[in-house]
Amino acid sequence: MEQHRTRPPQHGPRRDVPPPPLPPQAARGGAKAGRTGSPSARAGVPPRRPAAAGPSGPPIVQAVRRLPNPRLTGLGGGLFCGALMFALGCLDQLLFGASLTAYGVLFLPACVLTAVWIRRGDLLTAPIVVPIAFAVGLLPVAESGQGISGRLMGLFTALATQAGWLYGGTLIAGLIATVRKIRLLNRRSTRNRPPVRPGP
């Protein structure tokens, strides 16, 4: 009998068969990506992200922006300034031996904070509450005699001798409140101004 030769099975891919063609859309997309992509993207390297821009402005402005920004009522501003000046007066007595000059210097930044932190509706109270707070803070600093009359006499004497610091702090608070009030009025007028219509 005649025996038929059998070929061994071929497990690998045939070399003479070309690979299947890609769809037209995939071919166009790959060619476009190859033309427009950057060398790093074609090489498989992820693109670098741009660095985040930091806060702009001088260091002083950045420090001021980081400060707390509460909004105090007129009564709250008076209580804040009075309590602050009383604490500063006690601190002045402990550290500087009840120095009226040091107390006057500490009074100025307290006036600035009070005028800045009072809310817009109570700006007119800023130059009113700071002189009261100045007198309250003088209680632990001013020289006092025996009894209530002696304490009051020492308080009035300190107010008379330190009137320059008192007027200066009140003036600073009044200027800050005035500037804030003017800016508030300008914003309101700009907001309420009717839009300009173009002519025919």
pLDDT tens for residues 12-61?
Answer: 555 555 555 555 554 454 444 444 444 444 445 555 554 444 455 566 54
Q: Is 32 contained in some domain?
A: no
Q: Is 148 contained in some domain?
A: yes
Q: Is 39 contained in some domain?
A: no
Q: Is 50 contained in some domain?
A: no
Cβ–Cβ < 8 Å for 81, 129: yes
Q: Is 111 contained in some domain?
A: yes
Higher pLDDT, 20 or 140: 140
pLDDT of residue 22: 57
Contacts of 113 (CB under 8 A, 6+ apart): 81, 84
With tokens 């210097």, the residue in question is: 105
pLDDT of residue 41: 47
Tell me how crowded residue 129 is: count the other CB atoms within 10 A of its CB. 26
- Express each pLDDT in 72-83 by its tens digit: 888 999 999 999
Domain count, the chain: 1
72 beta partners: 118
Single out the residue of 133, 125, 196, 190 nearest to residue 166, CA to CA: 133
- Say whether pLDDT at 166 is over 90: yes
Q: Is 11 contained in some domain?
A: no
What's the domain range around 134? 70-192
- Cα 123 to Cα 115: distance, rounded to the nearest angstrom: 7
- Say whether pLDDT at 64 is over 60: no
With tokens 């509450």, the residue in question is: 129
Q: Is 74 contained in some domain?
A: yes
Q: Is 46 contained in some domain?
A: no
